[in-house]
């Protein structure tokens, strides 16, 4: 482990060809289709059919705004959000902020390792703990691509996994089309009791993920460097908007596909509130090919998302504490809690759902500093958020806070 001074802004680079401006958002988008999403979306669709579809639509709209702000921060300042906070916060506050951010990162790792282990069990009958070890090892291999082959190779590998998981999770809709009227009804915001609020919060935490907010600014910093104000910056920001919208359209479509597939094929069936149960039901209803594709999608999701999660955790530590640790060491340390939980015998699906609730409570700690930083003229100059963007960003933050408060009130009072 080494300690370094705060990193200076990234160096200014020559303009990239237009096609090479895209990519960072697709890496960040992996966080939006991780195994926690699978558990939350399948459980919501199987338990409440289309009731909570509106949550996914709202969460994806919030995600587009949030990820663009994170990307813009990296482009305009040449620093990631953790780096900006590491320079602005006093040491005591920095340590506290790092602590909660690392808890969020740990919850992310738990979800992703568990998802990969579940996929290996469904596909090959591998025991969960062994599957967790294999998932961690495979994710380390992906991370080593960045070190030895460069970020572009890692980015391409993650995008390839995104394509695989998209096919795997969407294939079932070809055999079980959703109900158009049910989907329209699902766009009306409403709940049905405490459990539906818990699931909605889990879906929100699985869609607008804190570690993706921290990481995206670092991805654009590394991809573009510090872009000087003027024509080049406007060009990069325009391309970044396209990058974010396209990436999150893909991620949002996959999430919606999971929920509506569960609503159309799993509703009313027993033992569909777990991923293994849902996999069995999908296989029995739609055939072994769809079940196989679903398992492959889950495996691709776990492998890609655990690599992205580890990168986010490393950036959080480096930016806030100015400390670097080798990726191998970090991978081993963050793997241990997931393996312990896998060995307890607790339902892996509910571990995934609850991990997403933890993420949902961590969103506020990422969103508030992000909105404040990107609205600060001293930091952003002419790139600061304009009034409509500030209003939309604070409104999105308010929605997140309100949903979390509703969860606390309903859980404590036992209403529903």
Q: Give residue limits of the domains in the chain.
A: 22-413
Residue range 34-87, pLDDT digits in tens: 887 888 899 899 999 999 999 999 999 999 999 999 999 999 999 999 999 999
How many Cα atoms sit within 13 Å of 272 on the Cβ side?
26
**Which residue is listed with tokens 């579809």?**
53
Mean pLDDT of 301-328: 87
Residue 38's contacts (CB-CB under 8 Å, 6 or more residues apart) are 115, 169, 258, 275, 298, 301, 352
Mean pLDDT of 132-150: 84
CA-wise closest residue to 45 among 356, 258, 201: 258
Q: Provide, for the chain, the percentages of residues in helix, strand and coil under a 3-state DSSP scheme, each rounded to the nearest 5.
A: 80, 0, 20
Query: Both ends of the chain: CA-CA distance in Å?
Result: 49
Residue 182: per-residue pLDDT: 95
d(CA 275, CA 297): 12
CA-wise closest residue to 248 among 71, 50, 52: 71
CA distances for 204 relative to 32, 96, 255, 355, 356, angstroms: 10, 24, 11, 12, 8
d(CA 38, CA 352): 9
Residue 409: per-residue pLDDT: 72
Residue 164: per-residue pLDDT: 95
Q: Please give the radius of gyration of the chain, using alpha carbons only, rounded to the nearest integer.
A: 20
d(CA 303, CA 183): 31
Residue 62: per-residue pLDDT: 93
Residue range 99-124, pLDDT digits in tens: 999 888 888 888 889 999 999 999 99
Residue 405: per-residue pLDDT: 75
Residue 121's contacts (CB-CB under 8 Å, 6 or more residues apart) are 127, 128, 131, 276
What's the token pair of residue 274?
Answer: 């777990």
Residue 2 confidence (pLDDT) above 60: no
CA-wise closest residue to 304 among 106, 196, 157, 131: 157
Say whether domain 22-413 belongs to CATH 3.40.50.300: no
Of residues 374 and 22, more confidently modeled: 374
CA distances for 64 relative to 165, 242, 307, 367, 400, angstroms: 20, 10, 22, 13, 14
Residue 411 confidence (pLDDT) above 70: no
Highest mean pLDDT among 12-26, 113-127, 220-234: 113-127
Mean pLDDT estimate for the chain? 87
Of residues 187 and 103, more confidently modeled: 187
d(CA 54, CA 400): 14
Confidence of residue 19 (pLDDT cuts 50, 70, 90): very low
């Amino acid at each position: 482990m080494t300690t370094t001074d705060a990193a200076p802004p990234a160096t200014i680079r020559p303009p990239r060809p237009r096609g090479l401006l895209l990519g960072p958002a697709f890496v960040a988008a992996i966080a939006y289709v991780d195994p926690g999403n699978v558990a939350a979306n399948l459980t919501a669709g199987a338990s409440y059919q289309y009731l909570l579809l509106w949550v996914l639509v709202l969460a994806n709209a919030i995600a587009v705004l949030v990820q663009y702000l994170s990307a813009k921060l990296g482009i305009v300042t040449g620093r990631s959000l953790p780096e900006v906070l590491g320079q602005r916060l006093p040491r005591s506050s920095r340590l506290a902020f790092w602590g909660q951010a690392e808890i969020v990162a740990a919850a992310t790792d738990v979800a992703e390792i568990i998802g990969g282990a579940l996929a290996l069990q469904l596909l090959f009958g591998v025991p969960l703990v062994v599957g967790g070890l294999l998932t961690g090892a495979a994710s380390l291999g992906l991370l080593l691509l960045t070190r030895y082959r460069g970020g572009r190779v890692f980015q391409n590998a993650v995008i390839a996994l995104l394509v695989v998981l998209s096919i795997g999770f969407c294939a079932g809709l070809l055999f079980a089309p959703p109900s158009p009227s049910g989907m329209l009804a699902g766009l009306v915001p409403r709940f049905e009791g405490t459990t539906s609020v818990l699931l909605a919060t889990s879906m929100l935490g699985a869609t607008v993920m804190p570690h993706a907010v921290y990481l995206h600014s670092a991805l654009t910093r590394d991809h573009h460097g510090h872009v000087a104000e003027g024509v080049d910056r406007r060009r990069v920001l325009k391309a970044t908007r396209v990058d974010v919208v396209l990436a999150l359209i893909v991620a949002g479509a996959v999430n919606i596909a999971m929920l509506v597939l569960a609503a159309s094929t799993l509703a009313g069936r027993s033992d569909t509130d777990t991923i293994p149960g849902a996999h069995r039901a999908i296989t029995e209803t739609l055939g072994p090919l769809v079940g196989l594709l679903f398992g492959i999608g889950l495996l691709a999701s776990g492998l890609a998302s655990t690599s992205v999660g580890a990168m986010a955790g490393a950036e959080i530590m480096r930016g806030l504490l100015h400390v670097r640790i080798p990726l191998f060491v970090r991978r081993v340390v963050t793997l241990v809690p997931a393996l312990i939980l896998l060995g307890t015998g607790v339902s892996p699906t509910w571990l995934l759902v609850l991990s997403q609730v933890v993420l949902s409570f961590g969103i506020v700690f990422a969103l508030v500093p992000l909105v404040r930083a990107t609205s600060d003229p001293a930091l952003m100059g002419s790139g600061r958020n304009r009034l409509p963007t500030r209003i939309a960003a604070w409104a999105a933050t308010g929605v997140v806070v309100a949903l979390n408060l509703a969860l606390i009130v309903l859980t404590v009072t036992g209403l529903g």
